[in-house]
Every structure is written in structure tokens, then in C-alpha cells.
Amino acid sequence: MEKMVNIYLYGKKYEVPASLTIMNAMEYAGYQLVRGVGCRCGFCGACATIYRIKGQNELKTCLACQTKVEDNMYIATLPFFPLVKQPYDIQKIKPTEQIMMQLYPEIYSCVGCNACTKACTQDLKVMQYIAYAQRGEYEKCAEESFDCVMCGVCSSRCPAGITHPQVGLLARRLTGKYLAPETEHLLARVAEIEAGDCEAALDEIMAKTAEELKALYNNRDFEQ
């Protein structure tokens, strides 16, 4: 028989198979997930979760779809955390140090506690990329924050109220728009699309069945 473990969902005890992820365990226990669930593959960041193992003091964070249950795990999901996004037009702003000060001045209130890094579900060096943003080093900030899934756990643990994911997103947009070198083959492909050169190929793909699309995907050419 499959090994079973005891977990606590919102304070209530459940016995679930040890092989399940937290998300699967919640469904096994009878919860219908309508919030705090998205791609189920660790990319969307919707299933941010906080948990503690009984007898341990450390409060841990994770994505529920990627983390297996443990015995005596006390679980609370974080289906939504308010990440303040300041309005801006990427066509009008420039990658200056002043723009970050204007849009997200709270980053300069960072106390260096590193709680954001410790909480990150992707093991990113969050405090480091905030430091890059403070200095206007947007390319470094973009690279360090590249794998952010915008779950908001880092911000939920920040005493300065920094909206880390939005800061990283702004740095990546500034980098892509103004700092990264232009990609010639991408520009050429965009021009082809705008000229309508791809319409026939798109129509052909749209006419295929689901099975044909799967076969096309599985047998696609890989760049070496």
C-alpha cells in the first residue's frame, strides 16, 4: 500500500498519499481549487504557499504544484497578494536611475534583511536584483530576476513594502526595449508577419486536428 502522511490544511488534519504534491493533496482531501491554481507546471506563480513542519520553527514558502507533501506539514495557500504596479508607457520612459526612483521609490527603503531572497519560491537572489535596480543596472537586474514567476511571496515577507516582481519586470522591459541589442532575424520575422507573408502557414496550422498538431510538435526540428 502507498505510504500515507498527515497534513494540516487551514488547521484541519488530513491523511494523504506521500507521493502527492500539495496541490494534488488538497484535491485528494476534497478541496475544489478555483483560486490559487493556474498552469500546474511551476510557471504562473498562482499557487504560492506557506507551510511549516510540526516541531520546526522555520516558515517555508513554495509553489503548491511543485512541492510534495511531508508528514506533519501545516499548509496555508497565498492565492493573492497585492503587487502594486505603477502605470507607465514603455514607449515614453527611459532606462535612467531616476525612472526607478519615480515609479518604485520604496526600493530605496530596503533594510537588507534578505527575507525576500529566503522566501523566493524560485531560489532567486531577490535582494541582489533590487540592489541592481537601485543603482540603475537594469541589465543585471533583468538577468537576475529573469525566472521570476510573479507569485508575490517575496513581497509578502518584505518589511519595506517593496513590490519586487514589478521592479524586476520593469527592468526586463527597459532592457528589452532600450539596452539589449536588436535581434535581426526577429525583426525580419516581424516584418514578414506585418506584410502578411505568414497568413497561409497560419491558416494551414489552424485547419489541423489536435492529433495532427501533437504530431507536428513532437516531430519538430530542434536548433543545435
Query: Tens digits of per-residue pLDDT, 11-44?
Result: 899 999 999 999 999 999 999 888 888 888 888 8
> Regarding beta strands 4-9 and 73-77, do their DSSP bridges make them parallel or antiparallel, or are they unpaired?
parallel
Is 224's pLDDT higher than 70?
A: no
- What is the rounded average pLDDT for all residues in the chain? 93
**pTM of the predicted model as reported, rounded to 2 decimal places:** 0.78
- Cα separation, 119 vs 62, in Å, equals 8
Residue 182: predicted pLDDT: 87
Query: Tens digits of per-residue pLDDT, 129-166?
Result: 999 999 999 999 999 999 999 999 999 889 999 999 99
Look at domain 4-77 and name its CATH class. alpha beta
Closest by Cα among 80, 84, 175, 165 to 124: 165
> Regarding beta strands 4-9 and 48-53, do their DSSP bridges make them parallel or antiparallel, or are they unpaired?
unpaired
Query: Tens digits of per-residue pLDDT, 90-127?
Result: 999 999 989 999 999 999 999 999 999 999 999 999 99
Mean pLDDT over 53-80 rounds to 91
| Segments of the chain assigned to CATH 3.10.20.740 | 4-77
